[in-house]
Amino acid sequence: MTEDHRLTHKRIRLRIPKHYHQEPVISRLVSQYHLTVNITAAILGKNANGDGWFDLELNGTNAHIQSALIYLNELDLELWNEQEADGW
């Protein structure tokens, strides 16, 4: 199995600004990038008026995770605390 197709996981923290609240950003990680997404923590503004902050664990192949991170960067979302783990 090549490195791009090896199963792995990555933990990220993601800020989703208010203007993206009606967009299925996290859902697209599952449907378009074939990832399993575990929301390990989340903070939402009162009545969803502020930015959303999510701690996510992304599970899938290295290639799918990298493609999903490119997608999130193209949306100009803040990402940090990225930690990569070895394959299972």
Q: Over the stretch 8-33, which tens digit does the pLDDT of each residue have?
A: 999 999 999 988 888 999 999 999 99
Longest dimension (CA), the chain: 46
**Matching CATH number, 3-84, of 3.40.50.10860, 3.30.70.260, 3.30.1360.200, 2.60.120.200:** 3.30.70.260
Two structure tokens written together for 80: 């940090």
Q: Considering the entire predicted model, what is its pTM?
A: 0.82
- Domain layout of the chain by residue ranges: 3-84
Residues 6+ apart with CB under 8 A from 20: 75, 77
Strands 36-43 and 52-61: antiparallel
**Closest-CA residue to 4 (of 65, 59, 56, 82):** 65
Q: For the chain, what is the mean pLDDT?
A: 86
Rg (CA), the chain: 13
